[in-house]
């Protein structure tokens, strides 16, 4: 368990790839996509190696840790490592990065320029992976920010429609969020004299005074809530998704949103337990509003991508609800929900991107009907992903939602009846989710005579999508594959919270 | 992995293989489709060899030291009996479908969905784990949606599929929460233990039973969730036979039977069940009388017959409910397949287009007649005995021998007997309008269906004729379906008919038959027709109470999101860019923007206040 080279290599590899593409000349346009595939494949292999060599018995402690001096004057260190909470997210990121690279080989979006596109994807990968590995508050912040610039470029240059506006809203909003979060981090650091996330989580943070905890928690949660996005901070999401190129949407929904909820479990819950206990019921309320609001708003959309974007608000609401219960079941549910949403929504955006490639639109007003017969395989995948997303038991989307409800039945907090009301409202949200997805299938998949066949799913699309399809089923029937990682780690987190619970 | 789990998985594997090979070879798809349920049937039969059921076969499924995968199974007499029925009907339906769906281009996916459905239904039947049960329960609903929407080119089918899914899903809110409550309150996901623990605590029993009942009403199409079932007839007839008559709709009843000790500990819930069952029983039968479509008559009849089972459960007799569940499965599957044969041959399901088919379709005629006689409850067919057992159970309750109040027993008894009359009425009308009258012109080419379709009819006619004999030995079925180890005390009533109820129901049948004769003379009887044909106005009620308010909320949420929250964000954005022009614009007083920002803030504030107050 001392292979310290593993995580740095995972980070440095895409960084090198990005730099190479930056300095390489125009001739790199031809092999840029292949470099992307090579780097991401190697990264995926390394991640698999990490999964294999990860000690399940010790899933609660950090593995592959690197702890180097960075800015000792400010007690900031370059600390990275993974445990059962972060490893699944690292794996998800590597996988979606690989899928995106494969998909990009033949499908660099307009206006081309593969070199820049792939370079930005690789840079994005560095930021995403780093966020899940960071064990230092400032390092976490840095990686959190590294993600923004590439995503802005991806939306603003390779997007469609009102891409500039969407990209600007995205960056302004999330930068504002991270600034707020940074202030929160600074309060923690000033109060405790440490930025080491492991030490902070292990009781140091809990020693902070109640007022300081509350201030820090509100600020950090505020920043993370924008990213998640928690209602009412969600409005950047639909615009960003609608404008973003396919792989941009996939990574945005599949990975970026998880950075918010991951930060809550990793930092806020164990480091600021007293404040978290106070805030949790409010978080639950906003989560449930998000579930219902996301579902209702989703039903009102006339664009495929916007439907899925609002559905993400609802799904992340379930993740937030799980966290807000502060129970072992609830937080495990949240972590599972993160992974499941990443896989399923990633697949959904891929499929919708495929539809857009073929029909030139995602608007209900212009989309041809009868996809089930004009492109049966694509139609099947749309149906499959939609059914998975609406939480069908037996597929991955079910467990996060169901166990969030179980957690809400018995939260680790005294507000029992309040949480049970939330439980019922959230369960109603599950039906509403079925309503808008069936509307999509009825509008796009079914319908009278289709206007002629479309190209069905191509080989490279199958290759890029099949891991997501497989995992949707595998995690649906064997959720234990994730829970055996997260469960011990969550128990460690809950030890820190234990003292704060009434 | 043990036999029960293999039994569940084989049809699922068949579904997967069928999808893979179906595109290339249609006969291969058909072979796989039939092999799946047939193999499951073989396993079910082999499991029977392990009775008597003093100890049910409990298996932890894919166990593990850590959180095991929720696939524990419990096979007792109840489970294996229903599993045998499911496998039998599913096999016959798959065989029949080979002929019925001969010209259907999407046959491979169709037969795969039927196979997947079979697996899900078997999962519900043998589930020993609450979460496993939920998986089977919901996957059944999905397959039902997919198969109702089989002909999705037609608006009617699309509409019916969505309606079926959403209406049952509304009930499932209750079901899911009920399961969550059970898991939370009993700290186990194993059904026998959870049920036992819940039965010992009246509060938990009442809450959990009440919530699970909602899901049951949805799946078993009982008032006020009954409205999706008649519309579901937009699906192919074999699907109606398997899913919307014999199995899935009966799954609701089965689950109550599975959880029965818990329901017995909640007499209030049983009383509600009885009232709902009475409403559904008589109401649906009355509606069936005025239907003009052969399949819709049968669909309403299914609602009514399921209500008999729910009523039996409500008055304390699980045995009677399961008895009727089994006999109904055989005769109603037979009726739907026979109706499908008629539709296949004539090309229409409207009663106006039918008539005089007796000589053209002798096998279908004979088998459907047997099915209708069983439905009406004529001696000695299966339906007679099973319906009698429900009446006897109600009579016992009326005598005050059961957990529910005596008036509940009286109510069920009276309504059930009146419903026997109405059942005879619509059955006779259906029979007369389909088989008698002027013969269709030879030009129409009406002919008997091929053997692949009529042999399943004959096969189903056998249990329809003979199954009732079980009741002759008072202890046979109760002993068979009892599960001593899992369910300590479940009220048992002898299922043998009694003279009083026989006399009453014979009179009821005769009266109903005469009325049916009269009703068939008029193509459109005028018994409060619009109200009845409209499913007791529930559709309209849904529209006004659920659909319209929902769309209203959707409209306003969408506007709110675009104009209020969205603008607030745009305000943040433009403020941050600090464009002087924008600032000036703001200072000039963009009232709407101020208002919108304020509104969002207000909502946030209200939430905070509410939560604070609530906690």
Q: Which of A180-194, B389-403, B490-504 has the highest mean pLDDT?
A: A180-194
Q: List the single best residue of A56, A167, A235 to mutate versus B (max B Cβ within 10 A).
A: A235
Residue A119 scores a pLDDT above 70: yes
Residue A19 scores a pLDDT above 60: yes
CB contact under 8 A, B558 and A297: yes
The more confidently predicted of residues B19 and B481 is B19
CB contact under 8 A, A480 and B570: no
The more confidently predicted of residues A202 and A2 is A202
By Cβ distance, the residue of B139, B183, B615 closest to A393 is B139
How far is Cα B247 from Cα B234, in angstroms, rounded to an integer? 18
CA distance A213 to chain B (A): 19
Q: List the single best residue of A327, A417, A431 to mutate versus B (max B Cβ within 10 A).
A: A431
By Cβ distance, the residue of A297, A409, A424 closest to B557 is A297
Confidence of residue B146 (pLDDT cuts 50, 70, 90): very high
At B582 the pLDDT is 44
Angle formed at CA B332 by CA B477 and CA B394, multiple of 5 degrees: 50
pLDDT in tens, B546-563: 778 888 888 888 777 777
CA distance B67 to chain A (A): 6
Q: Which DSSP string corresponds to B344-363?
A: HHHS--BGGG----TTT-HH
Q: Distance between alpha carbon B2 and the CA centroid of its chain, in Å?
A: 28
CA distance A112 to chain B (A): 29
Cis peptide before B526 (omega within 30 of 0): no
Size of interface A-B (CB pairs under 8 A): 148
How far is Cα B378 from Cα B359, in angstroms, rounded to an integer? 24
CA distance A333 to chain B (A): 13
By Cβ distance, the residue of A281, A393, A434 closest to B611 is A281
CB-CB contact of A174 with A131 (8 Å): no
Ramachandran quadrant class, A392 (left: phi over 0; alpha: psi -120 to 50; beta: rest): beta
Q: Which residue on chain B is closest to A409 by alpha carbon?
A: B184
pLDDT in tens, B207-237: 999 999 999 999 999 988 888 898 889 889 9
Cβ contacts of B207 on chain A, cutoff 8 Å? none
At A455 the pLDDT is 86
CA distance B55 to chain A (A): 28
Cβ contacts of B572 on chain A, cutoff 8 Å? 172-173, 176
Provide the H-helix boundaries in A244-327: 246-251, 257-263, 269-271, 273-299, 304-324
CB-CB contact of B295 with B343 (8 Å): yes
Cβ contacts of B576 on chain A, cutoff 8 Å? 172, 176
By Cβ distance, the residue of B66, B561, B576 closest to A172 is B576
Residue entry with tokens 């969600």: A234
Cβ contacts of A299 on chain B, cutoff 8 Å? 550, 554
Average pLDDT, chain A: 91
As a whole-number percent, the residues of chain B with pLDDT over 70 amount to 81
Confidence of residue B55 (pLDDT cuts 50, 70, 90): low
Residue A413 scores a pLDDT above 80: yes
CB contact under 8 A, A387 and B68: no
By Cβ distance, the residue of B62, B155, B565 closest to A235 is B565
Q: What are phi and psi of B188, to 5 degrees?
A: -150, 155
Q: Which DSSP string corresponds to A202-244?
A: IIIGGGS-HHHHHHHHHHHHHHHHHHTTPTTS-THHHHHHHHS
How many CA within 13 A on the CB side of residue B51?
18
Residue B569 scores a pLDDT above 90: no
By Cβ distance, the residue of B66, B557, B611 closest to A282 is B611
Confidence of residue A290 (pLDDT cuts 50, 70, 90): very high
pLDDT in tens, A332-372: 999 999 999 999 999 999 999 999 999 888 888 888 888 88
Q: List the single best residue of B60, B163, B554, B578 to mutate versus A (max A Cβ within 10 A).
A: B554
At A141 the pLDDT is 93
CB contact under 8 A, B135 and A446: no
CB contact under 8 A, A438 and B607: no
Q: List the single best residue of B113, B181, B569 to mutate versus A (max A Cβ within 10 A).
A: B569
CA distance A80 to chain B (A): 28
- Report the complex ipTM: 0.91
How far is Cα B150 from Cα B235, in angstroms, rounded to an integer? 6
Q: Which residue on chain B is closest to A396 by alpha carbon?
A: B135
Query: What is the value of pTM for the model shown?
Result: 0.90
At B592 the pLDDT is 47
Q: Which residue on chain B is closest to A424 by alpha carbon?
A: B177
Confidence of residue A378 (pLDDT cuts 50, 70, 90): very high
At B484 the pLDDT is 47
Cβ contacts of B183 on chain A, cutoff 8 Å? 406, 409
Q: List the single best residue of A296, A408, A422 to mutate versus B (max B Cβ within 10 A).
A: A296
Average pLDDT over residues A440-450: 84
β partners of residue A68: A78
pLDDT in tens, B277-299: 999 999 999 888 888 889 999 99
Average pLDDT over residues B433-449: 78
Angle formed at CA A141 by CA A139 and CA A145, multiple of 5 degrees: 115
CB contact under 8 A, B557 and A293: yes
CB contact under 8 A, B152 and A235: no
Residue B29 scores a pLDDT above 70: yes
CB-CB contact of B124 with B215 (8 Å): no
CB-CB contact of B62 with B19 (8 Å): no
DSSP one-letter code for B127: B
How far is Cα B372 from Cα B351, in angstroms, rounded to an integer? 16
Closest CA to A441 of B227, B158, B138: B158
Cβ contacts of B169 on chain A, cutoff 8 Å? 430-431, 434
Q: List the single best residue of B8, B22, B67, B153 to mutate versus A (max A Cβ within 10 A).
A: B153
Q: Which DSSP string corresponds to A405-417?
A: HHHHHS-SSS-HH
By Cβ distance, the residue of B180, B553, B600 closest to A409 is B180
Q: Which of A22-36, A138-152, A273-287, B360-374 has the lowest mean pLDDT?
A: A22-36
How far is Cα A128 from Cα A405, in angstroms, rounded to an integer? 29
CA distance A271 to chain B (A): 23
At A129 the pLDDT is 96
Cβ contacts of A438 on chain B, cutoff 8 Å? 145, 161-162, 165-166
By Cβ distance, the residue of B69, B149, B615 closest to A446 is B149
DSSP one-letter code for A150: H
Q: Which DSSP string corresponds to B10-75?
A: HHHHHHHHHHHHHTT-HHHHHHHHHHHHHHHHHHHHHHHTT--TTS-EEE-SS--SSS--S--EEE
Cβ contacts of B565 on chain A, cutoff 8 Å? 232, 234-235
């Amino acid at each position: 368990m001392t292979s310290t080279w593993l995580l740095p290599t995972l980070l440095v590899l895409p960084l090198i790839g990005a730099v190479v593409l930056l300095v390489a000349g125009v001739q790199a346009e031809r092999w840029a996509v292949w470099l992307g595939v090579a780097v991401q494949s190697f990264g995926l292999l390394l991640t698999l190696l990490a999964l294999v060599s990860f000690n399940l018995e010790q899933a609660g402690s950090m593995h592959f840790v690197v702890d180097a001096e960075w800015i000792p004057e400010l007690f900031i260190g370059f600390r990275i490592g993974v445990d059962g909470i972060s490893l699944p997210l690292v794996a998800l990121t590597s996988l979606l990065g690989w899928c995106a690279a494969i998909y990009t080989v033949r499908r660099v979006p307009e206006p081309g320029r593969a070199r820049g596109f792939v370079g930005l994807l690789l840079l994005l990968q560095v930021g995403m992976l780093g966020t899940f590995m960071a064990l230092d508050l400032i390092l976490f912040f840095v990686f959190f920010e590294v993600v923004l610039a590439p995503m802005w470029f991806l939306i603003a240059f390779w997007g469609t429609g009102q891409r500039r506006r969407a990209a600007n809203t995205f960056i302004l909003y999330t930068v504002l969020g991270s600034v707020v979060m940074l202030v929160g981090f600074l309060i923690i650091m000033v109060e405790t004299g440490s930025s080491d996330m492991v030490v902070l989580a292990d009781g140091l943070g809990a020693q902070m005074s109640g007022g300081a905890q509350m201030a820090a928690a509100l600020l950090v949660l505020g920043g993370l809530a924008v990213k998640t996005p928690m209602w009412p901070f969600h409005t950047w999401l639909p615009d960003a998704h609608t404008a973003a190129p396919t792989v941009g949407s996939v990574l945005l929904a599949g990975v970026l949103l998880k950075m918010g909820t991951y930060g809550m479990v990793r930092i806020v819950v164990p480091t600021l337990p007293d404040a978290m206990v106070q805030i949790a019921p409010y978080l639950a309320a906003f989560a449930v509003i998000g579930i219902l609001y996301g579902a209702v708003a989703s039903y009102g959309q006339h664009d495929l991508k916007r439907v899925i974007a609002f559905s993400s608000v609802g799904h992340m609401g379930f993740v937030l609800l799980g966290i807000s219960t502060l129970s072992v079941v609830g937080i495990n549910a949240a972590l599972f929900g993160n992974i499941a949403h990443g896989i399923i929504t990633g697949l959904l955006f891929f499929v919708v991107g495929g539809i857009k490639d073929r029909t030139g639109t995602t608007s209900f007003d212009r989309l041809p009907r009868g996809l089930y017969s004009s492109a049966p395989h694509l139609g099947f995948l749309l149906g499959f992903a939609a059914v998975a997303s609406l939480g069908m038991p037996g597929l991955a989307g079910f467990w996060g939602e169901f166990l969030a409800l179980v957690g809400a039945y018995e939260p680790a907090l005294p507000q029992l009846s309040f949480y049970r009301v939330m439980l019922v409202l959230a369960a109603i949200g599950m039906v509403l989710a079925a309503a808008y997805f069936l509307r999509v299938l009825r509008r796009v998949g079914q319908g009278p005579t289709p206007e002629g066949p479309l190209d069905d799913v191509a080989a490279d699309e199958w290759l890029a999508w099949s891991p997501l399809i497989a995992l949707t089923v595998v995690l649906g029937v064997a959720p234990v594959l994730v829970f055996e990682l997260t469960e011990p780690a969550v128990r460690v987190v809950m030890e820190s919270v234990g003292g704060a619970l009434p | 992995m043990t036999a029960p789990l293999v039994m569940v998985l084989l049809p699922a594997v068949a579904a997967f293989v069928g999808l893979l090979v179906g595109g290339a070879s249609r006969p291969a798809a058909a072979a796989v489709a039939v092999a799946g349920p047939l193999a499951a049937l073989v396993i079910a039969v082999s499991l029977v060899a392990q009775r008597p059921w003093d100890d049910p076969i409990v298996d932890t499924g894919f166990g593990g030291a850590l959180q095991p995968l929720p696939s524990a199974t419990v096979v007792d007499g109840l489970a294996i009996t229903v599993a045998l029925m499911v496998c039998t009907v599913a096999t016959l339906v798959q065989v029949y479908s080979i002929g019925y769906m001969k010209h259907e281009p999407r046959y491979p996916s169709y037969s795969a969905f039927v196979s997947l459905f079979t697996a899900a239904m078997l999962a519900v039947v043998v589930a020993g784990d609450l979460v496993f049960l939920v998986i089977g329960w919901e996957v059944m609903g999905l397959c039902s949606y997919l198969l109702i929407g089989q002909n999705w080119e037609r608006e009617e089918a699309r509409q019916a599929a969505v309606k079926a899914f959403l209406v049952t899903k509304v009930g499932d809110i209750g079901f899911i929460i009920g399961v969550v409550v059970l898991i939370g309150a009993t700290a186990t996901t194993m059904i026998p233990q959870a049920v036992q623990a819940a039965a010992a605590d009246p509060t938990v029993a009442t809450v959990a039973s009440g919530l699970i009942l909602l899901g049951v009403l949805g799946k078993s199409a009982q008032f006020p969730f009954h409205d999706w079932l008649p519309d579901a007839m937009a699906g192919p007839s074999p699907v109606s036979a398997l899913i919307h008559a014999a199995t899935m709709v009966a799954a609701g009843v089965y689950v109550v039977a599975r959880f029965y000790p818990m329901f017995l500990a909640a007499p209030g819930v049983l009383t509600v069940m009885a009232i709902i069952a009475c409403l559904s029983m008589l109401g649906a039968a009355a509606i069936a009388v005025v239907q003009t479509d052969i399949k819709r008559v049968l669909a309403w009849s299914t609602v009514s017959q399921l209500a008999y089972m729910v009523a039996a459960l409500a008055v304390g007799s699980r045995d009677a409910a399961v008895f009727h569940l089994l006999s109904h499965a055989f005769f109603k599957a037979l009726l739907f397949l026979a109706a499908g044969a008629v539709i296949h041959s004539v090309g229409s399901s409207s009663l106006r287009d039918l008539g005089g088919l007796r000589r053209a379709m002798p096998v279908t005629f004979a088998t459907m007649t047997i099915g209708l006689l069983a439905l009406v409850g004529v001696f000695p067919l299966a339906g007679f005995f099973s319906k009698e057992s429900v009446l006897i159970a109600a009579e016992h309750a009326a005598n005050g021998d059961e957990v529910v109040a005596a008036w509940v027993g009286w109510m069920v008894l009276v309504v059930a007997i009146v419903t026997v009359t109405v059942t005879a009425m619509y059955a006779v009308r259906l029979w007369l309008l389909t088989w008698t009258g002027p013969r269709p012109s030879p030009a129409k080419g009406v002919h008997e269906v091929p053997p692949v379709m009529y042999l399943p009819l004959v096969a189903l006619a056998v249990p329809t004729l003979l199954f009732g004999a079980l009741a002759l030995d008072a202890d046979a079925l109760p002993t068979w379906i009892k599960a001593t180890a899992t369910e300590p005390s479940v009220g048992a009533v002898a299922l043998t008919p009694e003279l009083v109820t026989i006399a009453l129901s014979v009179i009821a049948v005769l009266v109903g038959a005469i009325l049916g004769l009269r009703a068939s003379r008029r193509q459109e009887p005028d018994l409060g027709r619009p109200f009845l044909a409209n499913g007791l106005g529930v559709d309209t009620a849904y529209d006004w109470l659920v659909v319209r308010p929902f769309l209203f909320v959707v409209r306003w949420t969408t506007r709110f999101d675009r104009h209020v929250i969205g603008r607030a964000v745009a305000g943040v954005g433009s403020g941050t860019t600090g464009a002087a022009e924008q600032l000036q614009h703001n200072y000039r007083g963009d009232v709407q923007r101020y208002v919108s920002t304020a509104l969002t803030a207000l909502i946030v504030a209200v939430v905070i206040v509410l939560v604070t107050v609530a906690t």
